[in-house]
Structure formats: C-alpha cells, structure tokens
Amino acid sequence: MATHNQILLARNHLASAQNVTILTGAGISADSGVPTFRGADGLWRNFRAEDLATPEAFERDPRLVWEWYNWRRELIATKQPNPAHDALVTLERQWTDRMWLITQNVDGLHRTAGSERLSEIHGNIWKVRCTGCGVISENREIPLPTLPTCRLCHALLRPHIVWFGESLWEEDLRRCDEVLRACDLLLVIGTSGIVYPAAGFASVAKDVGAVVIEINLESTPQSDLVDLSLQGRAKDLVPLLL
C-alpha cells in the first residue's frame, strides 16, 4: 500500500506542477465494477483478443463481435463513475487549460463524470462507425439490432473502437504528443502498461523531464521508470492526491 510519505510527496509534486497530463486505463473503471482486460476477472481471461478485438475478427464473424459488444454495453450501462473519476473532473475545473486527460477506456465513464478535456484514444463503446461511408454517430441502444446498418448508405456498422493492429486516430496521436511534451507531471492510473502506443507515454514524459507518478494495485513494467509508484485502489488514492 502507498505510504503516507509517498502520498505527501505526490501532493507536493502536484502542487508545484504547471501542466498535468493524466493517463488512465481499465483499473480506474474497475472501481466502478467494469471488468479489466488482464486482471484475475479480466475480459481476456475468458475471451481471446484475436477472436473479438481485431479487424480480421470482425470481417470473419461480425455477429460474434457485435454480440460481445452488446454484452459489454449491457454491463457498462449499469455502472457509474467512482470518486477517482470525480476527482479528475474537479482537477480539470481547477486547472482548466493546464490539464489534459488521456484515457484508454472505451466505457465513457470519464465523460459521464463530466470530464471534457479528454482524449478517448481507443474509442467509445457508445459510438458506432459505418464501414461504408465512415460516418461516426452516438448510439446507446441495448441491444443493437443484429448486424446494425447505416441509415445513410446501408453498409454494416462497427463499434467505434481501436482494435489491435489498427492505428489510433491522427488527431488523438497529435494531441497526446503535444500534452505529453508540455507536461511537467504525468499521472498514470490503473493501466498494465503493455499496450502501445499508450505504454510508451511514460517514457515520452520522462524524456522531456516530467515527473511521472503511477497509481496501480500492483507493480507494472513501467514501475521502474516512474518517479513514484503508489500501490492501492484508484478510487482511494486519486481523491487523496488531488
């Protein structure tokens, strides 16, 4: 568990920072009851990523992939933001244009909590994208009709999610690079730190001289690189820090 001294040190870093960037992963939503990917009850323990979260999987069996996303929509719809999400909203309101939040989470809980200065770099489960005309729209139906189609061009819709082997959106990559290079404090919350490009963000921030603080239940491949590794639950530690 994070010690009192570590928490004081982290608070001091925050107090002297000018620009803060936050990176979140599934661990922050775990405290709202959303399953992580790689934890003990993680999604990848029961499902194979390559069967469900790749463009090839969708081409092979769009029905199976949509069934999985419908199931996840159903689950996520019952969840609410937790005190860690709320603390980040408070931080954003205090820091305004000196703070940016990058999330790998697709559940939309940061937005529900009220975060606005936010990049959802892996997409959003409540959005769909047309495989024909590319139009992106918000859609909260549960379940979506089997093999949903576009109102404009009638092509198949897909989840607006970045799957393995797909590039992130140019605009998000540009924004991430900008806020990582501009920050003097990066706070990394609840990510296993193995999925790129997000897994490389801590080293980008270190390269520009930022202090990097990690909050996680356990140590990660990034723990040796960061300045301070705080072990504990996001919902307890984030509000304490901010």
In the complex, minimum distance from the CB of residue 103 to ligand BJW, in angstroms, rounded to a whole number? 8
Give the alpha-carbon dihedral of 123, 14, 98, 104, to 10 degrees: 0
- Say whether 154 is catalytic: no
Residue of 33, 134, 145, 165 interacting with ligand BJW (CB under 6 A): 165
Nearest to 92 by CA among 113, 119, 121, 116: 116
Q: Please, what is the minimum distance in Å from the beta carbon of residue 92 to ligand BJW?
A: 20
**Cα–Cα dist 242/237, whole Å:** 9
Q: At what angle do helices 234-241 and 4-16 cross, to 10 degrees?
A: 50
234 near ligand BJW (CB under 6 A): yes
Q: Which stretch binds ligand BJW (CB under 6 A): 1-9, 110-118, 134-142, 155-163?
A: 155-163
Residue 170 binds ligand BJW, judged by CB under 6 A: no
In the complex, what is the shortest distance from the CB of residue 136 to Zn ion, in angstroms, rounded to a whole number? 10
- The binding track of 29-68 with respect to ligand BJW, each residue x by CB under 6 A or -, is -xx----xxxx--x----------x---------------
* HSE toward the beta carbon, residue 57, CA cutoff 13 A: 21
Catalytic residue among 13, 85, 122, 160: 122
Q: What one-letter code names the amino acid at 153?
A: C
Query: Which candidate, 85, 41, 12, 115, places its Cα nearest to that of 235?
Result: 85
Asked if 160 and 130 touch (Cβ cutoff 8 Å), the reply is no
Q: Which stretch binds ligand BJW (CB under 6 A): 90-98, 127-135, 141-149, 162-170?
A: 162-170
Task: Evaluate the CA torsion angle 106, 101, 168, 202 in order and state its sign.
Answer: negative
CA distance 112 to 129: 21
> How many residues bind to ligand BJW according to rule CB under 6 A?
35
Q: Which stretch binds ligand BJW (CB under 6 A): 11-19, 133-141, 147-155, 184-192?
A: 184-192
Active site residues: 122
Q: Which residues bind ligand BJW (CB under 6 A)?
A: 25-27, 30-31, 36-39, 42, 53, 104, 106, 122, 161-167, 190-192, 194-197, 215-218, 220, 233-234
